[in-house]
Amino acid sequence: MTDYTEIINSRKDLPGGLIEAYHAIQREYNYIPEEAVREAAQVFGLPLAKAFGVATFYSYLKVGQRGKYVIRICASAPCHIAGASEVVDALEKELGIKMGETTEDGKFTLEWAECVGQCQDTPVFTVNGKPFGGLNREQISQVLSLYK
């Protein structure tokens, strides 16, 4: 695993380097450690509040630990109408956690997404970016079994 300080320093002179660094760190760690935000503030010469502001503004960036598999459920109107709430209920029941939480074993995190770009196949969720659409309550165990 690449150290986040190397990732940050390799992008310090690039336009948009802070966001590029955050994306690269998240690809490496699956989240952005708080210490990495502090390091980024120092390297990019930013107030700590601004570095945290950038890291927390974008919904696909996550400061703080999350599970190995991040399940993002689309909360847009088409998915809502198509039964996303039933899918959420089934996920929460199957995993034993609520939205925004991570399982005790660190395997799964549930998060909301505004849209995952799969409106033709609602309701939809993604697992680490891979979309699963046209879901119903009965399919949740089958999809999760791919990652357990």
DSSP letters of 100-113? T-B-TTS-EEEEEE
pLDDT on residue 117: 87
**Fold of the 69-145 domain:** Glutaredoxin (3.40.30)
Kindly report the pTM of this predicted structure: 0.78
pLDDT on residue 60: 79
DSSP conformation class of 76: S
Does an H or E element contain 96, and which?
A: none
Per DSSP bridges, beta strands 69-74 and 130-132 are unpaired
Q: How many Å apart are CA 133 and CA 26, to the nearest integer?
A: 25
pLDDT on residue 33: 95
Number of CB atoms found within 10 A of residue 7's CB:
22
pLDDT tens series, the chain, 148 aa: 789 999 999 999 999 999 999 999 999 998 999 999 999 999 999 999 999 999 999 877 889 888 999 999 998 999 989 999 999 999 999 999 999 999 999 999 999 988 888 889 999 999 998 999 999 889 999 999 999 8
Which pair of tokens denotes residue 17? 């380097």
- Domains of the chain, by residue range, sit at 4-57, 69-145
